[in-house]
């Protein structure tokens, strides 16, 4: 059975617009990263939206939840902006119980040489195949349960709300 990958945007997929010096979304880099990673796990990729997660609306999250519910695959990876990744994870964990859903993203755009995104994607695809049903955030080499994670805005790393 394939892994379902939903793309929602976030720093991961941002590009540099050389005409105005701003970062923007064009296309996702998911497919080229999977080829570079020489991935052979069957995947079904769908782009749901391309938004900065600070601008993600309730309707956007409703769409993500709906797509996760409807997915035939029970292993799902979602690329997502880091700023509200834990909010979406929390919502999904309340709605979907019978699948393994892993949210991941990047602190630095893939198109920058120093991006963490390729590493995060490798870990997310691994966690989606190996963790029990539930909703998780995969960042910084770790996985966090949706109910127990936040992004530390000072350091830029994800951490558990409480040690377990």
Is 53 marked as a binding-site residue? yes
Is 11 catalytic? The answer is yes
Q: Which of 47, 90, 142, 148 binds its own copies (CB under 8 A)?
A: 142
What tokens appear for 15 in the block?
Answer: 């590009």
User: Which of 44, 67, 122, 148 is in the footprint of its own copies by CB under 8 A?
Assistant: 122
- 71 assigned to a ligand binding site: no
Q: Is 25 in the site for its own copies (CB under 8 A)?
A: no
Region near its own copies per CB under 8 A, out of 55-63, 67-75, 91-99, 126-134 = 126-134
Angle between helix axes 58-70 and 85-95 (nearest 10 degrees) is 50
Closest CA to 142 of 115, 160, 164: 160
User: For the chain, what is the largest distance between any 2 Cα atoms, rounded to a whole number of angstroms?
Assistant: 48
Half-sphere exposure of 3 (CA within 13 A, CB side): 25
Stretch that binds its own copies, among 57-65, 68-76, 89-97, 108-116 (CB under 8 A): 108-116
The number of residues making up the chain comes to 164
83 is known to lie in a ligand binding site: yes
Find the helix or strand (DSSP H, E) in which 117 lies.
helix 117-130
What is the C-alpha to C-alpha distance for residues 146 and 144, in angstroms, rounded to an integer?
A: 6
CB of 140 to its own copies, least distance (A): 4
Give the binding site for its own copies (CB under 8 A). 11, 16, 18-19, 21, 23, 33-34, 36-41, 52, 107-109, 111-116, 118-127, 129-131, 138-143, 153-154, 156-159
Q: What residues are labeled active site?
A: 11
């Amino acid at each position: 059975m394939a892994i379902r990958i939903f793309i929602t945007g976030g720093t991961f997929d941002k590009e540099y617009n050389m005409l105005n010096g701003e970062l923007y979304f064009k296309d996702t880099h998911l497919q080229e990263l999977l080829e570079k990673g020489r991935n052979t796990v069957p995947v079904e990729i769908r782009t749901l939206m391309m938004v900065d997660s600070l601008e993600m609306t309730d309707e956007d999250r409703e769409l993500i939840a709906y797509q996760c519910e409807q997915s035939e695959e029970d292993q799902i990876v979602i690329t997502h902006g880091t700023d509200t990744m834990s909010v979406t994870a929390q919502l999904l964990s309340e709605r979907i119980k019978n699948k393994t859903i892993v949210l991941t993203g990047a602190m630095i755009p893939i198109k920058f040489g120093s991006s963490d995104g390729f590493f995060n994607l490798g870990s997310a695809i691994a966690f989606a195949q190996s963790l029990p049903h539930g909703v998780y955030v995969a960042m910084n080499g770790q996985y966090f349960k949706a109910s127990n994670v936040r992004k530390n805005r000072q350091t830029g790393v994800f951490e558990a709300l409480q040690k377990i």
